[in-house]
Amino acid sequence: MLKIENLHANVGGTEILKGLSLEVNAGEIHAIMGPNGAGKSTLSYVLGGRPGYEVTGGSVTFDGVNLLELEPHERAAAGLFLGFQYPVEIPGVSFVQFLREAANSQRKSRGEEPLTGGDFLKLAREKAALLKLDMDMLKRPVNVGFSGGEKKRAEMVQMGILDPKFAVLDETDSGLDIDALRVVGDGINAIMRAPGKAVLLITHYQRLLDYVKPDYVHVLAGGRIVKTGGPELARALEDEGYEAVT
């Protein structure tokens, strides 16, 4: 589904990704771990198409299409979802209206009929309940006044409504307490663990992987994937640190 070959990328003139290669097949969940500054968030932003991240070499294909040639909204319409480490606040914009516009924009790009107000609210309630988020929260401006955990759960509600093929989740566990971690983990499983979908889960810690059990764990260091293993690799990293396994 996603194939990255020898990817190089610069940020502000500094090379961050230095020949990264990775392949994720449909039905798989891959976790990426690594020290600060290794390039984990840079990888997520390059895949999402964030401005300021310059690809200088290599290729990325998504469902056989050159992902790097697509604009960010085209990547989203093709089924790519990027979950941010720090979800932004948008004062003055109702979250529920934002979600409806986003969902119907993607449906339009696929030639599908837009969701009616009633159908959308039914879908939103279903996904909010899955993430144990009060629907009243979605009537507020986007992320305004939300705690860190509420922002992450609201973002997972957004993922559930958009129903992507491929989710890149950048430190979704950041800012979550024990209960919220379980809820978000269960939500990721319910929304994305399916034969036609895949997840690239970026995290510093093994704790989220207790709930979202990955098929593969990769260590990203110095802008490259330097080691790959199963869930036991994440436990070794937690116990021994990165130096011991790279």
Q: Print the domain residue range for 78.
A: 2-240
Q: What does the pLDDT look like over 165-211, one tens digit per residue? A: 999 999 888 778 888 888 889 999 999 998 999 999 998 878 889 89
**Given a cut of 80, is residue 245 above it in pLDDT?**
no
Write out the H or E segment, with its range, that includes residue 33.
strand 29-33
Three-state DSSP state, 112: coil
Q: Write out the two tokens for 237.
A: 């990293």
- Whether residue 185 is contained in a domain is answered as yes
- Whether residue 59 is contained in a domain is answered as yes
**Given a cut of 80, is residue 99 above it in pLDDT?**
yes
Q: What is the model's pLDDT at position 175?
A: 75
- Whether residue 10 is contained in a domain is answered as yes
Q: What does the pLDDT look like over 112-135, one tens digit per residue? A: 899 898 999 999 999 999 998 888
- Whether residue 33 is contained in a domain is answered as yes
Q: At CA 113, angle to CA 111 and CA 119, rounded to 5?
A: 145
Q: What is the percentage of the chain residues whose pLDDT exceeds 90?
A: 62
Q: How many domains does the chain have?
A: 1
Nearest 10 degrees: CA dihedral of 106, 61, 210, 152?
-30
Asked whether 40 and 47 are in contact (CB, 8 A), the reply is no
More confident residue, 246 or 11: 11
- The arithmetic mean of pLDDT across residues 63-86, rounded, is 91
Q: What is the model's pLDDT at position 164?
A: 94
- The mean predicted confidence, pLDDT, of the chain is 90
Q: What is the model's pLDDT at position 180?
A: 85
- The arithmetic mean of pLDDT across residues 152-170, rounded, is 93
CA distance 168 to 94: 25
**pLDDT classification of 110: cutoffs 50, 70, 90:** confident
Cα distances (Å, whole numbers) of residue 29 to 52, 69, 126, 189, 198: 28, 25, 24, 10, 6
- The arithmetic mean of pLDDT across residues 71-77, rounded, is 91
Q: What is the model's pLDDT at position 244?
A: 67
Find the CATH number of the domain harbouring 108.
3.40.50.300
- Whether residue 181 is contained in a domain is answered as yes
Residue 51 burial (10 A CB sphere; 0-12, 13-18, 19+): exposed
- Whether residue 245 is contained in a domain is answered as no
Q: What is the model's pLDDT at position 234?
A: 87
- The arithmetic mean of pLDDT across residues 68-73, rounded, is 93
Q: Name the pTM for this structure.
A: 0.90
- Whether residue 76 is contained in a domain is answered as yes
- Whether residue 246 is contained in a domain is answered as no
CA distance 69 to 108: 21
**pLDDT classification of 246: cutoffs 50, 70, 90:** low
